[in-house]
């Protein structure tokens, strides 16, 4: 029989050894887990540091690039023309062509996605802050850095695809169009010619059941053809034009009293589908002229007017005649109301009906949003060298009068 005490001690020793091995295993496991956790934490920290560095470098580079383009185009003589003539056409040929393959307005979809993304991002960030989740502040900082980098990239793309072109030589200078000004008599003569043209075209166009110019799917291709044809006459306008695209939720433009918009981010010409249809061909060509790098609004109006006027498509000619008459007529009304009223009375009933439809449409959207957009656009145009702000659009009249005078001589 064995001494129980000794046996007990032995058992105890065995037990202690077991315990000790177990404790060592646990400690080893704990140590291993701790090392793994530390390693993971270290990797996570290094990962977030790398991401922060990436966003920071991207933000700084894009901002510096955008600022360089902005300042160089303003203060380096000839830079904007050189850029517009050599670099910008490459952007239209690559980026413009790529986005042009998308059958809908890419910028519209990207805008909605962008807004949704940042709403979700802010909600998630604020929620994790309130829940006091570990590392929430760090993650928020990283996301804000990503937001700043995105804004910097957008600023760079805007400058590269649009901002520089504001400083380039204007179309009228390049094409040798004179801006000799006009008096009431010459304006009245142009308005009288436009009235006759409008009367002639009004009887030839197809109308829908509301009496408006009948819309056609091929207008998008017609706009490209009209601008391409004008490019043969004015080589400055020769470009690889993508088709203009309708804005799916055009109400967004209507409430701001906007007929169309050029997107520098996707090099797309977009137009409002809700407005009176006679505006559409003119607007398509106006926006395509921005895509060609001509940013002055009076010149874009004039180019749009001329492209539609010289188009083979009768609806485009009608659109040109309507917009020409409206702009020149409004100007004439300020000089000589009597002469304006006499010409307006000569317009066919169908034309006056369309003008009323147009006026009623825009009156519906007169309000805060359209006022704010008008003020923002006015400030934006002035900041980009168009000193008359939104009144620049009306200065197409000067170019139309010069065009008629040149034609007469
Ligand atoms: Zn414009």
Mean pLDDT, rounded, for 190-218: 95
Residue 7 has pLDDT above 60, yes or no: no
Point out the least confidently predicted range of 75-79, 377-381, 396-400: 377-381
Question: Among residues 65, 104, 118, which one has the least CA distance to residue 87?
Answer: 65
Mean pLDDT, rounded, for 71-100: 93
Residue 312 has pLDDT above 80, yes or no: yes
Residue 29 has pLDDT above 90, yes or no: no
Q: Which two tokens stand for residue 207?
A: 């109308």
- % of the chain beyond a pLDDT of 90: 64
Q: How far is the CA of 295 from the centre of ligand 1 (A)?
A: 7
Residue 172 has pLDDT above 90, yes or no: no
Would you state the pLDDT for residue 4?
46
Structure-model confidence comparison of residues 18 and 117, the more confident one: 117
Please enumerate in sequence order all residues whose Cβ is within 8 A of that of 292, keeping only pairs 6 or more positions apart, or say none: 92, 227, 236, 237, 239, 241, 303
Q: How far is the CA of 290 from the centre of ligand 1 (A)?
A: 7
Give the span between the Cα atoms of 384 and 295, in whole angstroms.
9
Q: 0.75 cut: is pTM over it?
A: yes
Would you state the pLDDT for residue 14?
47
- Tell me the CA distances in angstroms from 139 to 60, 88, 117, one per residue in order: 20, 38, 16
Question: Among residues 246, 79, 102, which one has the least CA distance to residue 168?
Answer: 79
Pairing, β 245-246 against β 260-263: unpaired
Would you state the pLDDT for residue 6?
45
Q: How far is the CA of 374 from the centre of ligand 1 (A)?
A: 13
Please enumerate in sequence order all residues whose Cβ is within 8 A of that of 389, keeping only pairs 6 or more positions apart, or say none: 377, 378, 379, 381, 382
Q: How far is the CA of 347 from the centre of ligand 1 (A)?
A: 28
Residue 331 CB neighbour total at 10 angstroms:
22
Q: How far is the CA of 258 from the centre of ligand 1 (A)?
A: 10
Q: How far is the CA of 53 from the centre of ligand 1 (A)?
A: 39
Residue 5 has pLDDT above 50, yes or no: no
Residue 133 has pLDDT above 90, yes or no: no
The domain ranges of the chain are: 4-167, 173-408
Residue 31 has pLDDT above 60, yes or no: yes
Q: Assign 28 a pLDDT band (cuts: 50, 70, 90).
A: low
Structure-model confidence comparison of residues 268 and 126, the more confident one: 268
């Amino acid at each position: 029989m064995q001494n129980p005490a000794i046996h007990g001690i032995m058992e105890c020793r065995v037990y202690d050894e077991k315990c000790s091995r177990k404790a060592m295993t646990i400690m080893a496991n704990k140590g291993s887990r701790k090392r793994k956790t530390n390693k993971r934490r270290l990797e996570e920290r290094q990962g977030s540091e790398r991401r922060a560095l990436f966003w920071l470098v991207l933000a700084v580079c894009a901002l510096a690039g955008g600022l360089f383009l902005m300042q160089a185009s303003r203060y380096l003589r000839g830079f904007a023309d050189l850029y517009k003539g050599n670099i910008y056409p490459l952007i239209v040929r690559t980026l413009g062509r790529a986005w042009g393959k998308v059958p809908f307005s890419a910028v519209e979809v990207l805008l909605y996605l962008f807004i949704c993304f940042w709403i979700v991002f802010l909600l998630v960030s604020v929620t994790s802050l309130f829940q006091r989740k570990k590392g929430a502040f760090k993650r928020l900082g990283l996301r804000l850095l990503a937001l700043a980098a995105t804004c910097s990239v957008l600023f760079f793309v805007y400058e590269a695809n649009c901002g520089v072109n504001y400083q380039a030589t204007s179309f009228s200078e390049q094409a040798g169009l004179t801006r000799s000004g006009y008096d009431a008599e010459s304006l009245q003569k142009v308005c009288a010619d436009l009235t006759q043209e409008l009367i002639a075209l009004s009887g030839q166009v197809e109308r829908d059941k509301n009496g408006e110019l009948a819309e056609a799917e091929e207008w998008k291709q017609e706009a490209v053809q009209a601008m391409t044809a004008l490019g043969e006459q004015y080589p400055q306008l020769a470009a690889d034009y993508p088709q203009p695209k309708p804005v799916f939720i055009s109400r967004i433009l209507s409430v701001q009293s906007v007929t169309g918009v050029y997107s520098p981010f996707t090099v797309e010409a977009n137009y409002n589908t809700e407005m009176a249809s006679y505006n559409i061909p003119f607007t398509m060509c106006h926006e395509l002229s921005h895509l060609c790098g001509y940013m002055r609004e009076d010149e874009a109006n004039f180019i749009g007017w001329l492209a539609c006027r010289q188009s083979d498509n009768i609806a485009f000619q009608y659109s040109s005649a309507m917009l020409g008459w409206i702009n020149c007529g409004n100007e004439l009304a300020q000089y000589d109301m009597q002469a304006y009223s006499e010409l307006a009375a000569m317009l066919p009933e169908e034309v006056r009906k369309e003008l009323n439809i147009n006026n009623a449409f825009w009156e519906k959207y007169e309000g805060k949003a359209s006022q704010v957009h008008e003020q923002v656009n006015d400030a934006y145009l002035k900041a980009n060298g168009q000193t008359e702000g939104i009144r620049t659009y009306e200065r197409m009249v000067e170019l139309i009068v010069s065009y008629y005078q040149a034609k007469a001589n």
